[in-house]
Amino acid sequence: MRKIFLLLVITMSLALLTSSFAFAANVGQGKKILFVPLDNRPITDKETVDVAKKLGYDVVVPPENLLGTREQHGNPDGLWDWLRANAPGAKAAVVSTDALLYGSLVGSRSHELTQEQIADRVNRFQKLHQDFPRLPVYGFGTILRTLLTATHSGAGMEPEIYQQNAVKIYDYSKLRDKADMGQASKQEQREMQRLEKEIAPAVMEDWAHRHNLNFSANKSLIDLTGQNALSFLFLGGDDGAFYSQTHYEFRQLREYGKNIGKTKFQITSGADELGMVMLCRAILDDKRDIPFVYTAYNVGKGADTIPSYCVEKIGDDVANTIIAAGGMSVPAPQRAELVFAVSTNADGQTLEANSPKNTIKPRKGTMPFVKMVKDFVDKGYPVAVADIAYGNGADNALMNELHKADLQFKLQAYGGWNTATNTTGFLLGTGLLTKWMDKQSRDELMLARYLEDWGYQANVRQSLASAVWSQPGFNHQTGNLDGARNFAAAKGTELLQDFAQQNINLPAGLSLAKLHITHPWNRLFECEIFF
């Protein structure tokens, strides 16, 4: 009798397991979503698409030759032709307005387009809506970034004319924003006037012109959203700061679109994560689902932290991004479908992940945060960990403690790459969709982030940079890998394999036997990981 009972239990368990796999694979039921990414970087393109594909959606992306690269801006007219040709039968279109107006994120910074050319492309959204009125279009775009250092203008990322004036431009824009907010002292106002005179007239004219073009285009996109040509518009302040030109325009655009409503228009910090957030919203709208999210912050400044590269408090940014993604904030974890745990430094400071201070030694806040996460997990809550104490990589102390507590693959999702809002936005977009995934799919997504954000960004990249420096063919002036590209891929793979073996406890069903990396943008800053 006992054997028969055990056999029934095993049979029922296998049936439930099989049905859960089938459910996860068929949530999208082959529905077609058109996706025009910001450019062809792995995180903005393939890694974003992979999340939706795990739900069974047929995410269709333009041919590679139309997308922006590090060297090429992309082909906006070709992208528009592709979008219209593929619109019939699509459930939704999630599109980068930067790609469709300028070619890519890099293109938005360094194009030579006229206002008339940009306006013509903006108006195509109205025509698209007229011709395909049942196709919801989710647009995401950026507010032109503020130069933070002279290196921002190098390697073709900004017009070369800015190179000798980058710091002065940043200081000027910081004081201009501060003055507009009524917070600049008389001394700061005099300093702003001095800088305005010192910056080369040709540079100032070009800089102001580019920002005006981008600002005007974003205002027009907001107008189109109010007219329902766009189902949702999500704008991000790219690489800004609380006082900066990006923040100045951020404030103006938020005020301009205030009457549209938060369920159709949102503006936050960030750039690279915007596509994931909008893809999530398109799927949630398709499923008519509004998931509940409870957000928990680390001790100290927590939600009041203004991370590096951000134009507002992280608490405000996360709250707005939850709405943009299609979710709703709730005040208690008991009702939440996702507990969003945000790890910040207690003092509110954001260092870089390659800082010597990023060690495995716990800091103030490390252990309380790990305890909080463990308590949530032990209670059975689905937890996503946003690791933003450092910029451009994971927090080694936090990750080491999560590893020791055996929490790595007990989470629902994890993120710790690039800027703080790149992490929180991409993680929210992913985390809200994981409830429809089987454990294997969730584990694969988390493993990708552990390898890239923790392994590569916070650790391997620094060692690899030292090794590549002495290689023939490496361009020391631009940082381009060039002739050292094959070496970087092989050495980076070796270093990442070693790191993973020591620090990641793989769950059943995952293997790193085929792990290898490449550098599609010919630089060390990002990599593409295969496993």
Least confident of 24-28, 100-104, 174-178: 24-28
User: Is pLDDT at 7 greater than 60 in this prediction?
Assistant: no
What is the predicted pLDDT for the residue at 6?
A: 40
31-66 residue pLDDT tens: 999 999 999 999 999 999 999 999 999 999 999 999
C-alpha distances in angstroms, 120 versus 42, 108, 115, 125, 227?
A: 30, 16, 9, 10, 17
Least confident of 193-207, 316-330, 366-380: 193-207
The widest CA-to-CA distance across the chain, in whole angstroms, is 92
What is the predicted pLDDT for the residue at 158?
A: 80
Residue 73 neighbours by CB under 8 Å, 6+ apart: 102, 103, 104, 106, 107, 110, 111
Distance between CA 417 and CA 405 in Å, rounded?
22
- Residue 156 — very low, low, confident or very high, per pLDDT cuts 50/70/90? low
What is the predicted pLDDT for the residue at 46?
A: 98
Name the percent of the chain lying above pLDDT 90: 89
User: Is pLDDT at 92 greater than 90 in this prediction?
Assistant: yes
- Residue 384 — very low, low, confident or very high, per pLDDT cuts 50/70/90? very high
CA 106 to chain CA mean position, Å:
15
Q: Would you give the DSSP letter of residue 245?
A: H
DSSP string, 334-347: GG-SEEEEEE--TT
399-409 residue pLDDT tens: 999 999 999 99
Helix (H, G, I), strand (E, B) or coil at 339: strand
What is the predicted pLDDT for the residue at 18?
A: 40
Distance between CA 71 and CA 225 in Å, rounded?
32
237-294 residue pLDDT tens: 998 899 999 999 999 999 999 999 999 999 999 999 999 999 999 999 999 999 999 9
User: Is pLDDT at 15 greater than 50 in this prediction?
Assistant: no
User: Is pLDDT at 192 greater than 50 in this prediction?
Assistant: yes
Distance between CA 214 and CA 53 in Å, rounded?
32
Closest-CA residue to 327 (of 487, 335, 216, 273): 335
Closest-CA residue to 91 (of 135, 138, 61): 135
Name the percent of the chain lying above pLDDT 70: 94
Give mean pLDDT, residues 96-110: 96
